[in-house]
Chains A and B, each alone.
Chain A
Amino acid sequence: MSHPGKKISDTDLEKLIGQLLRYGVLLSSAIVIIGGMAYLWRHGGEQPRFHEFKGEPEKMRKAGPLFRAILNGEGRPFIQLGLFVLIATPILRIVFSIFGYLLEKDYLYVLITLTVLAVILWNF
């Protein structure tokens, strides 16, 4: 290879991305398990109602109301927080890559990665 230095920093970036993905999944699973236990403790005896679509209330869709519900000790919003962490993991991976490409001075890929990030965040 004609760029030995570049290859090394690429591998470092790959290692970092790998770790980020793993810890993101582990952290979100832990939060989901804790929230799940609280949810089953409070609602385990009730009847499930998933046959028809009702749509989730605002506290399951927006960060502010979600945190208020968690402070009330509710289990379902806590699970949702875990899901937010899970969804954030690949998005954070993109952010990491932007910095990685900046360090490598690969501005073409900085631009490509920024565009992907913008497309994803556009909908949240």
Chain B
Amino acid sequence: MTILFFTIALFVGALAAGLLGSLTGLGGGVVLIPLLTLVFRVDIHYAIGTSLVSVIATSSGAAAAYVREGITNIRLGMFLELATTLGAICGAWLSGFLSTSFIAVLFGLILIFSAAISFFKLGDPVSTGEGSPLSRWLKLNSSYPTPEGEKPYIVKNVIGGFFMMNIAGVISGLLGIGSGALKVIAMDNVMRIPFKVSTTTSNFMIGVTAAASVGVYLSRGYIDPGLSMPVMLGVLLGAFLGSRILTTAKTSSLKILFALVILVLAVEMMYNGLTHKI
């Protein structure tokens, strides 16, 4: 296998990952690392570095569109970035000391968790009212556009959400994924903000969170241009195409299919980790 063939195959794989990730809302990053390590037999450290780069690319690309629509709660995002960036740096630092087998097993667990969570979309209990003194001091309470006009909402349990974000940051820095699922849980179930706001705000934060840990990976030499080039371009193109199709395609059966793929990959990752093949 030559580099030319390897690069083209990686590009096609990343394109599929980006497309499926954006169509199902699970993000391309979750399948990238299994794809790189299991199919292309890339060292997991390179795979994590490569994944982080593509996470920055897709989240910046998507955030550009959402921010313009005025759904993203930028102040909330900025405030929670304090938690995610600190966590991300701890996670990136930790990953240098943990064995690759341990990382593989943990990755498998997070993979299953992320896929499962996407099927349990809880109700959307949006709260209105005054909001806590802390949420008012931080100006987190806001409104978002709906078909019936601007709808106000308040942010609950600011401190609890902050700690959840801290954990999401650690996972992101440790495994090189956006950990969007954890971020959405923190905002939906802990801070009780509308689903549309939490998904776009989570996406807004992912790029900055990844940028914090990418510095650690870059200085350790985990970011390889030969790998990152086809993967970043593939995922970006896939995500872009996905966002174009999204409005028309029916995605529920696709989501089940993708979740099954993720489940298989997760088991494979854990098996390889436990048998020390990774």
Q: Which residues of A contact B (CB under 8 A)?
A: 1, 10-11, 13-15, 17-19, 21-22, 24-25, 28-29, 32-33, 35-36, 39-40, 43-48, 50-57, 60-61, 76-77, 79-80, 83, 86-87, 89-91, 93-94, 97, 106, 108-109, 112-113, 115-116, 119-124
A113 CB to closest chain B CB (Å) equals 6
Chain A residues in 8 Å Cβ range of B159? none
Contact A22/B64 with A44-B3, A51-B41, A123-B219 known, Cβ cut-off 8 Å: yes
Q: How many residues on chain B are close to A (CB under 8 Å)?
A: 64
Q: Are A50 and B224 in contact (CB under 8 A)?
A: yes
Chain B, range 35-93, C-beta contacts under 8 Å to A: 40-43, 45-46, 53, 56-57, 59-61, 63-65, 67-68, 70, 72, 74-75, 78-79, 81-82, 85-86, 89, 92
Write 20 A-B pairs (CB below 8 A) sorted by A numbering: A11-B70, A17-B74, A21-B67, A29-B236, A32-B228, A36-B229, A43-B3, A44-B7, A46-B3, A48-B3, A50-B43, A50-B224, A53-B46, A79-B228, A80-B223, A86-B60, A87-B214, A89-B56, A93-B208, A94-B208
User: When chains A and B are docked, how far (Å) is the Cα of A14 from the Cα of B71?
Assistant: 10
Q: Are A124 and B218 in contact (CB under 8 A)?
A: yes
Q: Produce 1/0 per residue, B227-261, CB < 8 A to A.
A: 11110110010000000000000000000000000
Q: Are A39 and B226 in contact (CB under 8 A)?
A: yes
Q: Are B43 and A87 in contact (CB under 8 A)?
A: no
Contact A36/B233 with A44-B2, A50-B227 known, Cβ cut-off 8 Å: yes
Cβ-defined partner of A56 (8 Å) among B1, B221, B229: B221
Chain B, range 203-230, C-beta contacts under 8 Å to A: 207-208, 210-216, 218-230
Q: Are B228 and A56 in contact (CB under 8 A)?
A: no
Q: Whose C-beta in chain B lies nearest to the C-beta of A79? A: B225
B117 touches A (CB below 8 Å): no
Chain A residues in 8 Å Cβ range of B223? 56, 60, 80, 83
Q: Is the interface of A mostly helix, strand, loop or mixed?
A: helix
Cβ-defined partner of A119 (8 Å) among B57, B75, B79, B85: B85
Q: Are B211 and A120 in contact (CB under 8 A)?
A: yes
Cβ-defined partner of A109 (8 Å) among B45, B59, B78: B78
A72 CB to closest chain B CB (Å) equals 15
User: When chains A and B are docked, how far (Å) is the Cα of A29 from the Cα of B6?
Assistant: 20
B4 touches A (CB below 8 Å): yes
User: When chains A and B are docked, how far (Å) is the Cα of A43 from the Cα of B7?
Assistant: 11
